[in-house]
Every structure is written in C-alpha cells, then in structure tokens.
C-alpha cells in the first residue's frame, strides 16, 4: 500500500468516524425524545388508570345516588300523601270543633234564656206564695167571723177552713217549688258558667286549629316542592347514569389506545437504545482504527489518567492509607436531608483527598471537557470536580446541576462506564443538567483496576 492509498484510507476512516459520531449524536437526541415521550405516555397511562378508577367510583356513586333519589322520590311522595291525609283529618276535626263551639255557644245562650225564664217563674211563685199567705190570713179572719156568727156562720166556717187548708197546701207547694227553682237556677247558672268556659276553650281550639291548618298547608306546599325537587334529582341522576354508561367504554377505548401507544413507544425506545449501542460500537471501532482524530488525544488522556489512578490506589493500599475492602465498599449510607440523595461509603473520606489531584488537571487539557470523574461498578461517583461539588441548598434543581458528588449515576451510560473492561469506551448521551435542560455530549471512559480487581472507570465527558 503506497502513501497515497494509506492517506485516502485514513481520510475515509476519519470521515466514517465523524459520520458515526454525528449519527450517534442524532440517535441519542432522538432516543432522548423517545424517552420523554415514553415518560409522558406512562404519565398519561397512570392518569388514565386514576381516571378509570375515578369513573368506576363515579359510576358506583351515581348508582347509589340514583337509588337514593328514587327512594327519596318515593318517600317524599308518601310523605306528601300522609301530610294531605293529616291535613284532611285536621280540617275535619276543625269543622267538628266549629260545630261543637257553635253548639256550646248556643247552650250558653239558651242557658241564659232558661235562666231568665226560671227567674220569672221564681218571681211568679213568690207572688203565688204571697197570695197564698194573704188567702190564709183571710181564711183565718173568715173563721173568726164565722165563729162570731154562730150557727149562721157555720157553713161559711167550713168554706173558710177549706180555703185555709188549700192556702196552706199552696204555700207549702210554693215553698217546695221555690226550693226546686232555686236548685234549678243554681244548676243553670253553673251550666252557663261552664258553657262559657267550654266556649272559650272551643274558641282557643279553633284558633289553634286554624294555626295548625296553616302550618299543614305550608307543609303541603313544602312537601310538594320537595317531591318536585326529588323528581328533578331522580331525572338528573338518570341522565348522569346514562352519561356514565357512555363515558366508561369511551375511557376504556382511550386506555387501550394509550396502552398500545405506550407499548409501541417502549419498544421504539428499546430499539433506539440498541441503535445507540450499535452507533457507539461504530464510533469506538473507527477510533480504534486510528480515525476520529478529534477523539484520539482524549482517548490517550483518559487511559493514561485511569492508569495513574490505578497505580496510586495500589500504592495507597500498600502504605496502609486505605484497605482494599474499604476501597471496594458498596454499603452506601445516605446523607440525611440530601436531595437528590447523596451517599457515602467507607472509601469516601480517603477518595475526597486522593482523586482531585488526578481529576482536576484533566479539565485543563481541552476546552470542551465538561467533567472528569471516577465511578465504581455501581455508578457511584464519590468525588466530582470542584465546580460540581457545591454544598446542597433547598433548591433541588440547583442541587441536581451543581451538587453531583457522592451521587449514584446508575443510568445506562454511567453503569456502562463503570463496568467496562475494554481499553476504552466511547459513548454519546444526553446529560441531565437539571430543570429539564439536557446537553448532548460524548462520554469517554477507561477502566480502573486495583490489584487486578476491577474497581470501576474514569469518565471523561466532553462536547464536540
């Protein structure tokens, strides 16, 4: 192969590497879009699940409401009938009470008339008694005169004597009549007084009966209105039930559609992830062939720095600064109150002093480098660059972008970088900067081995 052919081959490889890199960027960006769509689809799916649950509850509640409305309508109708019957009974009683009050009033009036008559009879009887007394006196005088007349007055004496007996009997009868009239008068007086009391009571009953009738009339109107409202409620609940019957299958159809869409998006997302892996493999292979000259210096840099870190850790273990079990500790302890959650391990205090001397200088080699940080095989990043290791605040968005140390990045890129054992791994990904902001960049990593044991990898992220 002559020099010209070698140059042409290199140029083709470089063009292939560049095209593969650009393809990787596009695929990652599209994958991020599918991830967002999938997230939204899942949110819609969850919302639909809640909606379906709500629809079921609404349907059940509407059914109960319909039954209650029906019962209320029947109850109000029965109440209306009962109130009407009670009103009729009270009005009948009121009419009879009026009749009774009229009768009692007439009794009172008649009692007064009878009293007047009795008093007149009493007065007449007094006159009769007086006349009888006078007759008796005349009879006595007649007897005296007859006695003086002797035999000539003997017949007159008999008559006088008979008149005397008759007057005495008349007087006795008059006295007895007076006594009876007095008793009758007293009884009539008591009857009149009682009739007055009964009449007043009857008028009170009539007054209360009128108020009761008014109250019952109002109750009838209220009951009729309630029954009308109950019928309206029943009609509306029936309409609601019909609407729910239409809504439920419609929501189920939407749910099935969203399910199908979600499954389709998930499949596409998975296929995009596989396509990302394929594009990354192309980029890595072209880089390994000597192409992608823009990445070559950074590949050398990350491999060299990872090797230095490996050697430094081995030396620290030999000096007793840290044990190998401490270095490989994965019992992460959450930092109280941190958001996003930060964690520590037994190796964190040592790594806080050890890693910055290797990671910070790398940032000065290329303006496009965003960060350089080491992660273990679980994606745990104990020590980040100083600019990304700010103390957390109460603002979770700010923390996400500026407090990235002591975090576990177990996403696809983070885990692959920590678990890769090849000489280097070149990935393209969208970095979450917080607040819905993402940056598409390359992630270059090289493995870190300590005493032949794979600890993790050194990640170098940069924009091109």
The answer to whether position 159 is within a domain reads yes
Q: Are residues 207 and 346 in the same domain?
A: no
pLDDT digits over 282-294, tens only?
666 666 665 555 7
What pLDDT, on the 0 to 100 scale, is given for residue 250? 67
Whether residue 186 is found in the same domain as residue 307: no
Q: Which pLDDT score is estimated for 140?
A: 73
Mean pLDDT of 108-121: 64
Convert the pLDDT of each residue in 298-342 to its tens digit: 999 999 999 999 999 999 999 999 999 999 999 999 999 999 999
Q: Which of 26-35, 127-136, 258-267, 352-361 shows the lowest mean pLDDT across its residues?
A: 26-35
Other C-beta atoms lying within 10 Å of the C-beta of residue 117: 11
Write down the pLDDT at residue 358.
Answer: 97
Structural domain of 153: 61-247
| 110, 182: one domain | yes
Whether residue 317 lies inside any domain: the answer is yes
pLDDT given at position 121 = 64
pLDDT (0 to 100) of residue 281: 65
Asked if pLDDT for residue 410 goes beyond 90, the answer is yes
| 214: confidence class by pLDDT, cuts 50, 70, 90 | confident
Print burial letters for 393-421: b (CB count within 10 Å at least 16), e (below 16). Answer: eeeeeebbbbbbbbbbbeeebbbbbbbbe
Q: Return the CA Rg of the chain.
A: 61
For residue 416, give both structure tokens: 């692959």
pLDDT more than 70, % of the chain: 48
**pLDDT level of residue 388 (50, 70, 90 thresholds):** very high
Residue 14, in any domain of the structure: no
Q: pLDDT-based confidence at 440, cuts 50/70/90?
A: confident
330 and 234 share one domain: no
In this structure, the answer to whether residues 222 and 314 fall within a common structural domain is no
Given a contact cutoff of 8 angstroms between Cβ atoms, the answer to whether 358 and 344 are in contact is: no
Model pLDDT, residue 201 = 65
Domain termination residue (choose one: 231, 247, 263): 247
What is the torsional sign of CA 91, 95, 98, 104?
A: negative
Cα(342)–Cα(322) distance, integer angstroms: 22
Token pair listed for 350: 């040592």
Q: Is residue 208 located within the same domain as residue 312?
A: no
Q: Which range is most confident: 33-47, 162-176, 418-432?
A: 418-432
Within a domain: residue 11? no
pLDDT of residue 149: 73
255 within domain boundaries: no
Question: pLDDT value at position 352?
Answer: 97
Q: What is the pLDDT of residue 427?
A: 85
Of 247, 277, 304, the one marking the end of a domain is: 247
pLDDT value, residue 210: 66
Q: Per-residue pLDDT for 430 more than 70?
A: yes
**Domain count within the chain:** 2
Residues 95 and 205 in one domain: yes
308 and 241: one domain? no
Asked, for residue 345, whether it belongs to a domain, the answer is yes
Identify whether residues 187 and 320 lie together within a single domain.
no
Q: Are 212 and 348 found together in one domain?
A: no
Q: Which residue has the higher pLDDT, 410 or 33?
A: 410
Supply the pTM of this predicted model: 0.51
Residue range 252-279: average pLDDT?
64
We report the CATH number of the domain holding residue 78 as: 1.10.287.950
Task: Give the CATH number, domain containing residue 351.
Answer: 3.30.450.20
Asked if 155 and 142 count as a contact pair (C-beta separation under 8 A), the reply is no
Residue 310's pLDDT is: 98
Query: Do 224 and 354 reside in the same domain of the chain?
Result: no
Q: What pLDDT, on the 0 to 100 scale, is given for residue 438?
A: 72
Whether omega before 340 lies within 30 degrees of 0, making that bond cis, reads: yes
Question: What's the mean pLDDT when you consider all of the chain?
Answer: 76
Residue 373 is assigned to a structural domain of this protein: yes
What is the rounded end-to-end Cα distance, in angstroms, of the chain?
33
Are residues 450 and 341 part of one domain?
yes
**19 occurs within a structural domain:** no
């Amino acid at each position: 192969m002559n020099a010209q052919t070698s140059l042409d081959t290199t140029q083709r490889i470089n063009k292939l590497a560049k095209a593969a890199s650009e393809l990787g960027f596009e695929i990652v960006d599209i994958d991020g879009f599918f991830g967002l769509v999938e997230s939204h689809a899942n949110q819609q799916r969850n919302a639909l699940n809640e909606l379906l649950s709500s629809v079921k509850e609404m349907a059940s509640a509407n059914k109960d409401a319909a039954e209650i409305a029906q019962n209320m309508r029947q109850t109000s109708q029965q109440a209306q009938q009962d109130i009407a019957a009670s009103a009729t009974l009270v009005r009948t009683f009121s009419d009879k009470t009026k009749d009774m009050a009229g009768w009692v009033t007439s009794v009172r009036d008649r009692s007064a008339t009878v009293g007047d008559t009795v008093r007149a009879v009493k007065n007449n009887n007094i006159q009769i008694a007086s006349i009888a007394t006078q007759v008796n006196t005349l009879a006595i005088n007649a007897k005296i005169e007859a006695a003086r007349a002797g035999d000539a007055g003997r017949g007159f004496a008999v008559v006088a004597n008979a008149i005397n007996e008759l007057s005495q009997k008349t007087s006795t009868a008059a006295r007895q009549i007076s006594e009876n009239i007095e008793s009758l008068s007293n009884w009539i007086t008591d009857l009149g007084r009682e009739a007055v009391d009964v009449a007043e009571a009857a008028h009170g009953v009539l007054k209360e009966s009128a108020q009761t009738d008014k109250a019952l009339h109002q109750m009838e109107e209220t009951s009729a209105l309630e029954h009308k409202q109950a019928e309206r409620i029943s009609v509306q609940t029936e309409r609601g039930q019909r609407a729910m019957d239409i809504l439920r299958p419609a929501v189920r159809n939407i749910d099935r559609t969203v399910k199908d869409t979600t499954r389709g998006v998930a499949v596409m997302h998975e296929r995009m992830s596989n396509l990302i892996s394929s594009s990354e493999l192309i980029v890595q292979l072209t880089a390994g062939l000597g192409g992608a000259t823009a990445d070559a210096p950074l590949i050398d840099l990350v491999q060299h720095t990872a090797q230095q870190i490996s050697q430094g850790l081995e030396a620290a273990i030999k000096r007793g600064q840290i044990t190998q079990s401490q270095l490989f500790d994965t019992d992460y302890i959450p930092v109280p109150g941190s958001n996003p959650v930060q964690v520590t391990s037994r190796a964190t205090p040592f790594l806080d002093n050890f890693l910055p001397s290797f990671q910070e200088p790398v940032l000065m080699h290329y303006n496009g480098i965003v960060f350089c940080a080491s992660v273990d095989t679980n994606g745990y990043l104990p020590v980040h660059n100083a600019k990304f290791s700010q103390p957390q605040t109460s603002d979770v968005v700010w923390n996400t972008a500026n407090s990235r140390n002591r975090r576990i990045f177990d996403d696809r890129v983070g885990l692959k970088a920590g678990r890769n054992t090849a000489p280097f791994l070149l990935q393209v990904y969208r970095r979450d900067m917080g607040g819905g902001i993402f940056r598409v960049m390359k992630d270059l990593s090289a493995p870190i081995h300590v005493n032949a044991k794979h600890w993790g990898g050194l990640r170098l992220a940069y924009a091109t």
